[in-house]
Structure 1
């Protein structure tokens, strides 16, 4: 199925299982659909099964969003407790579309619990909703079951009990919630990552559990030894301990000054903790000239993507930011970027850090979702079905593979998944055939009808307009500040006009910047002439001492700069 066909099906409001091989564009389709909904004033609930995946897509883990947390099962009193939580109730009640990414890593019972929560909360206001899957929401399940499966912990030690537990449903498609939702299967068939026909054929063979001697011969041509010195190419390992060891040793071997960049967080602690856990950039990023790094986020301007490799070749003398030379020769001064959790058109939590991590080594698990030109991998420690396949499918072509070793499980996928994949492909072909028979006008009617049912508008709403929507007919305090700002007033003038402290106005400005309501070209208006002259010194101090606290910067300069001046310098540092 083509991406355009999947998008058209999604827009009808049908429940959907969106799947496809790595590089087929699943994330792109979801981003396009989410943007479409937001243009029509419908905010989707964007979630994922893991913290890393949730951070990638700017959403919650499904466990956090639904309020189930780490529970393995829901008793009646658990469900009642969740239904009494105002924030969870508001979140679920307001949602018309629920997206769950990396569905392959979600246990069946977890999906059942999410379904129970949605039906309980939705059913409290509309009784019929308690009888509908997920309370009547459109549910979109995204993922590839050939990727890493859910981790099942705490099996009983008794062998018989262990056998019984393993024979229970392990994959989400066996859950009662999945079967009741009856999702339309959209199996994306186009390939946007791998550009090597032979390599793509080998990956497809692994998906069928048809890895042959011919394919092994291809792998053997990419065999390297531990003594081979392959600089500038990340190594993929199965275990964190190997990654930490390699990165630590390689950084220590570099001479020169070590620079440390600290993450800044804003928002509720539980939400920022979730963002930090899922962010591939560490809270404390230590770099030196010569450090091999990997970008951990896509650049809005297209300068780099998640997985772009490079080497730190300098640090800017004014800002202190690292200058990275990418593998294709591009020179980039790397500036901090934000990872957000958004809900109901609002940013609930933000972490800010350089979109970099050390790249001598990375785990296979954390490589999911990345596209690499090259990778060194040791598949001799593979312990789970699909782990080898995930590692192999990170790279674009066979020549980008450098394999230290492998074991028998490295080229195997779960036999049940290989069989189920045939069913998914067949179901997707049927869906494509069915929807292709619909006239364009009929589809448009279905699309519009769903937007209307969600309480959206058929008129397209811009991002800037969405950030300024009036609430309950009253302009909120941020919008009032923004109105003065757009009339060309500075923070002191706005403070006088509104009768509020300038520090309060600065807080408003900071929030409006996060929402994208204030353009970066207007940032200079925050700076007094004196602060413009001194900004470089202050920003260098932030680079040296970290950006979480203003106190150390204030003390470093002996109180020369006010806390408001320091906040402004930090604000422009993080955003410009």
Structure 2
């Protein structure tokens, strides 16, 4: 696309920071100007797009949308139908009638993970106009090349607990001493956040003999939204009590209190350093604390890009294959629905512990090795997404698994069965 068009006319977007980094693009939230926690549930997409384009923050958004000729959207299975409708309307409403239509390329597999809430993307109102009822099937599997692993991934994808799946999961099961060997140094993938937190803190506790865990207590406050809808007529702070503040921040990715320590494995929660290859989901290790208490985190397999101005990004040191960055507290924001025009603000460290992650967080990543703890898998495609993260069977470790958790979404299966293949 960029060989035919100007680079500014082609945009690559994805639903998560990790997926955007893998695809070499932006999150669609960033590109389309969706604020953190944006929800389009139940809204008319045309009316909502018009509202967004009237807000003060829409100026740069409208400029880049007008320039866009091609959108490549990755991990389409994670995109909610209502948000896809709003994105489509934003593109339509920012373009002159004489402008050529935007071309959309949607990549992904609807048999992998779907949105946690909301309808799957092909249920969007705009889908017939964007895509119709046909698709191009990319049938060659590139990540795995071992025949038994390829067969196991294929069978899990369509919800079949086959002999191939049974053999791989049984062969790679770890327990006792074999599990202890990977417990603290291989990333665990788990379905539920509470299990991720439990494993992370158990690993942290085993570091306590080296360095006493430190506690980072968040500071919660409120402020006027600089990008508020001007029709609200709000031009000064409105008092916000503790209850709505807590309600607005209940789903904040940054916790109210966070324990960490030297040599702790941590995972970034923001995209402020995306220009140097670090994004939400990047995993590193705390190497030291500055006199002011700010932690410094080393990220491996990251190289500072040539010619990139790193001033203001907190780069502390760098080597050929790693970079260390200072990670002071940053502001996480959320809308306060009972106080339109106001934001809840949580000032907290921009990372969480990273010995384990949810399966949703890992979709789109290629991992060198992984421990699967999947007995409590709860969604269609979850086992597929977890099992297919590694290239080689020897780098897969199975701590727990339940065969009844292997199933595929029936709507997605029907779609692949009935739609035309290009």
Shorter-chain TM band:
0.5 to 0.7
By how many angstroms is 1:51 displaced? 6.2
Assess, with a 3 A threshold, how the Cα gap between structure 1 residues 323 and 45 changes in structure 2: closer, same or farther: closer
Report how far residue 61 of structure 1 moved. Answer: 1.6
Residues 77/199 of structure 1: CA separation in 2 closer, same or farther (3 Å cut): closer
**If you compute each CA radius of gyration, which structure gives the higher value, 1 or 2?**
1
Q: What are the Cα deviations for residues 141-180 of structure 1, in whole angstroms up to 9, with x where unaligned?
A: 2222122112346xxxxxxxxxxxxxxxx43234442222
Q: 1:73 corresponds to which residue?
A: 43
Question: Could you tell me whether the CA contact under 8 Å between 2:367 and 2:390 is conserved in 1?
Answer: yes
Question: 5+ unaligned residues in a row in structure 1: which ranges?
Answer: 1-10, 12-32, 130-134, 154-169, 263-267, 271-277, 338-352, 431-576
| Residue number in structure 2 paired with 1:238 | 191
Question: How far apart are 1:79 and its partner, in Å?
Answer: 5.1
Structure 2: runs of 5+ lacking an equivalent: 218-224, 228-250, 302-319, 328-347
* 109, 128, 143: which one aligns with 1:144: 109
Paired residues of 1:63 and 1:69 also in contact (CA < 8 A): no
Change in 2 beyond 3 A, CA 1:120/1:178:
same
Instruction: Confirm whether residue 100 of structure 1 aligns to residue 73 of structure 2.
Output: yes
The separation in 1 between residues aligned to 2:72 and 2:393, in whole angstroms, is 33
Secondary structure class of the residue paired with 1:381:
coil
Counterparts of 1:71 and 1:308, CA distance in 2: 30
Among 391, 399, 403, the alignment partner of 1:396 is 391
1:120-135 residue pairs with structure 2 within 5 A? 120-122=93-95, 125-126=96-97
Q: Is the 8 A contact 2:76 2:107 kept in 1?
A: yes
287 and 93 in structure 1: CA distance in 2 versus 1, 3 angstrom threshold: same
1:210–1:246 distance in 2 versus 1, CA, 3 Å: closer
Distance in 2 (alpha carbons) for counterparts of 1:226 and 1:280: 33
- The answer as to whether partners of 2:78 and 2:115 remain within 8 angstroms in 1 is yes
Structure 2 match to 1:211: 161
TM-score (norm 2): 0.62
Q: Which has the higher contact order (CA 8 A, sep 6+)?
A: 2
Distance 2:45 2:274 in 1: 44
Out of 364, 367, 381, the position equivalent to 1:372 is 367
Aligned in 2, Cα 1:71/1:226: closer, same or farther, shift over 3 Å? farther
Helix, strand or coil for the counterpart of 2:126? helix
Partner Cα separation in structure 2 for residue 295 and residue 152 of structure 1: 24
Question: Are 1:44 and 2:10 counterparts?
Answer: yes
After TM superposition, give the deviation of residue 234 of structure 1 in Å: 1.7
User: CA shift at 1:198, angstroms?
Assistant: 1.5
**CA–CA distance in 1 between the matches of 2:92 and 2:72?**
16
State the 1:213 CA deviation. 2.7
In structure 2, relative to structure 1, the CA distance for the partners of 1:69 and 1:62 (3 Å cut) is farther
Cα distance between partner residues in 2 of 1:285 and 1:110: 32
| Higher strand fraction (1 or 2) | 2
Picking from 48, 52, 58, the partner of 2:26 is 58
Count of aligned pairs between the two proteins: 342
Cα contact 2:298–2:323 (8 A) shared by 1: yes
Equivalent residue for 2:238?
none
* Mapped pair 1:251 → 2:233: no
Matched, 1:334 2:300: no
Q: 1:371 to 1:409 in 2, by over 3 A?
A: same
Residue 200 of structure 1 aligns to a residue whose secondary structure is helix
Call closer, same or farther: CA 1:220–1:280 in 2, change over 3 Å: farther
After TM superposition, the score normalised by the length of structure 1 is 0.48
Aligned CA distance change for structure 1 residues 332 and 111 (closer, same or farther; 3 Å): closer
After superposition, the CA RMSD in angstroms is 4.9
Within 5 Å, give how 1:491-510 maps onto structure 2: none
Q: Shift of the alpha carbon at 1:378?
A: 1.8
2:127 to 173, 178, 192: 178
Instruction: Give the 3 Å change call, closer, same or farther, for CA 385–62 of structure 1 in structure 2.
Output: farther
Which structure dedicates a bigger proportion of its chain to helix? 1
* Aligned pairs for 1:283-302 within 5 A: 288-292=261-265
